[in-house]
């Protein structure tokens, strides 16, 4: 039950010789979701041996080129590879016009199903049996949205020895898995907590880029396991961060701290930072579990059980 994100690009608008523009590949149990698609995303997918034929859903945070110019090439490649399965794209309405313009005369061989992201409110965009993907507004020079990938609550696991002990049938097992207590034939009540293993923690990953420092997002990303928050600048360029609707590493860390997340990943680095260690160091001063992302690295969130106070 993989729940992970692989960073494909960590650069801000001007790519460097070492860093590509923004794109993240989210993996939910081998279903792949692309978050943003900067120029060269398909090249990065190949470089890191990721099977991009399995991407069916693409979420675009906002319409600055470094977050979507790779869509044209990726869509063309899907077509050349004979794709038949529809491709779902979630973005602000302006992107639909651009795609219609770009692919007006093309017979791609598959459908693009466009889902408009509202600019001002939070909303669930996608749902399957394992996860929901929701969106919420960020604060940038033009409308921009964050995304929250959250695992659904899995059914409880019954302790094996209890099945035998109480001779549980299918119906009773189903009921206990959903959280019910069990009543024996002699009317004894066995509490659910004694019958089941502690539930799995619901894992969550949040993506927040591009955005200025904006504590309003904290309510959406509370306690997520991994928060990716842009950190375009270090403290030396705090003023430029403010002017351009971006965050410093410290501001990203401040959001992580307020939200009580498990781990903070920072990225979307300005090309002026050849070495991004300074950004990581500054973030760590505020929030210890901070890391400057590395392109190609997969950040996994393990499936763990909650602790019960027995």
Residues within the interface to a copy of itself (CB under 8 A) = 13-17, 20-21, 39-40, 42-43, 46-47, 49, 65-66, 69-70, 72-73, 76-77, 80-81, 97-98, 101-102
Catalytic entry in 36, 66, 210, 225: 66
| 216 among known catalytic residues | no
- Do 2 and 29 meet the contact criterion of CB atoms below 8 Å apart? yes
Question: Maximum CA pair distance of the chain?
Answer: 74
Are residues 199 and 226 in contact, defined by beta-carbon separation less than 8 angstroms? Answer: no
In this complex, which beta carbon is closest to a copy of itself, that of residue 102 or of residue 223?
102
Task: Tell me whether the omega of the peptide bond preceding residue 268 falls within 30 degrees of 0, making it cis.
Answer: no
Q: How far is the CB of 285 from a copy of itself (least distance, A)?
A: 30
What is the three-class DSSP state of 268?
Answer: coil
**Residue 267 C-beta: closest distance to a copy of itself, Å:** 17
Question: Cα(96)–Cα(114) distance, rounded to whole angstroms?
Answer: 7
Nearest 5°: CA angle at 117, between 112 and 300? 85
CB of 69 or CB of 110, closer to a copy of itself: 69
Nearer to a copy of itself, 105 or 186 (CB): 105
Q: What does the DSSP 8-state code read for residue 307?
A: P
Rounded to a whole number of angstroms, the minimum distance from the CB of residue 72 to a copy of itself is 5
Q: Is 52 helix (H, G, I), strand (E, B) or coil?
A: helix
Closest to a copy of itself by CB, 65 or 179 = 65
Supply the DSSP string of 152-221, one letter for each residue.
PPPPPPBPHHHHHHTT--HHHHHHHHTT--EE-TT--EE-HHHHBPPPBPPPEEEEE-S--S-GGGHHHH
Query: Judging by beta carbons within 10 Å of its beta carbon (0-12, 13-18, 19+), is residue 171 exposed, middle or buried?
Result: exposed
Smaller CB separation from a copy of itself, 97 or 152: 97
Structure tokens at 255: 């959001």
In the complex, minimum distance from the CB of residue 13 to a copy of itself, in angstroms, rounded to a whole number: 6
Nearest distance, CB of residue 141 and a copy of itself, angstroms: 12
- Catalytic positions are 66
């Amino acid at each position: 039950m993989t729940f992970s994100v692989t960073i494909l690009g960590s650069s801000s608008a001007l790519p460097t010789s070492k860093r590509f523009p923004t794109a993240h590949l989210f993996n939910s149990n081998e279903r792949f979701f692309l978050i943003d698609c900067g120029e060269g995303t398909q090249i990065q997918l190949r470089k890191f041996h990721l099977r991009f034929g399995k991407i069916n859903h693409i979420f675009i945070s906002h319409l600055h080129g470094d977050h979507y110019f790779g869509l044209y090439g990726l869509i063309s490649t899907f077509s050349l590879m004979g794709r038949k399965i529809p491709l779902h794209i979630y973005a602000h309405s302006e992107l639909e016009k651009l795609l219609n313009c770009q692919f007006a005369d093309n017979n791609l061989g598959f459908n693009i199903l466009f889902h408009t992201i509202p600019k001002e409110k939070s909303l669930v965009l996608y749902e399957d049996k394992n996860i929901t993907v929701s969106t919420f507004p960020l604060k940038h020079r033009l409308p921009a949205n964050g995304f929250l990938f959250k695992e659904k609550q899995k059914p409880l696991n019954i302790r094996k020895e209890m099945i035998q002990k109480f001779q549980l049938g299918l119906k009773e097992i189903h009921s206990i898995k959903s959280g019910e207590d069990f009543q024996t034939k002699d009317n004894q009540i066995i509490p659910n907590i004694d019958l089941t293993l502690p539930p799995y923690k619901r894992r969550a990953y949040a993506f927040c880029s591009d955005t200025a420092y904006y504590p309003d997002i904290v309510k959406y990303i509370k306690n997520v396991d991994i928060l990716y928050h842009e950190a375009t600048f270090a403290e030396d360029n705090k003023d430029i961060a403010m002017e351009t609707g971006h965050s410093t590493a410290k501001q990203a860390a401040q959001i992580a701290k307020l939200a009580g997340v498990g781990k903070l990943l920072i990225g979307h680095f300005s090309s002026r930072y050849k070495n991004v260690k300074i950004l990581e160091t500054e973030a760590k001063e505020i929030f210890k579990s901070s890391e400057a992302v590395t392109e190609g690295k997969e950040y996994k969130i393990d499936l763990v059980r909650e602790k019960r106070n027995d």
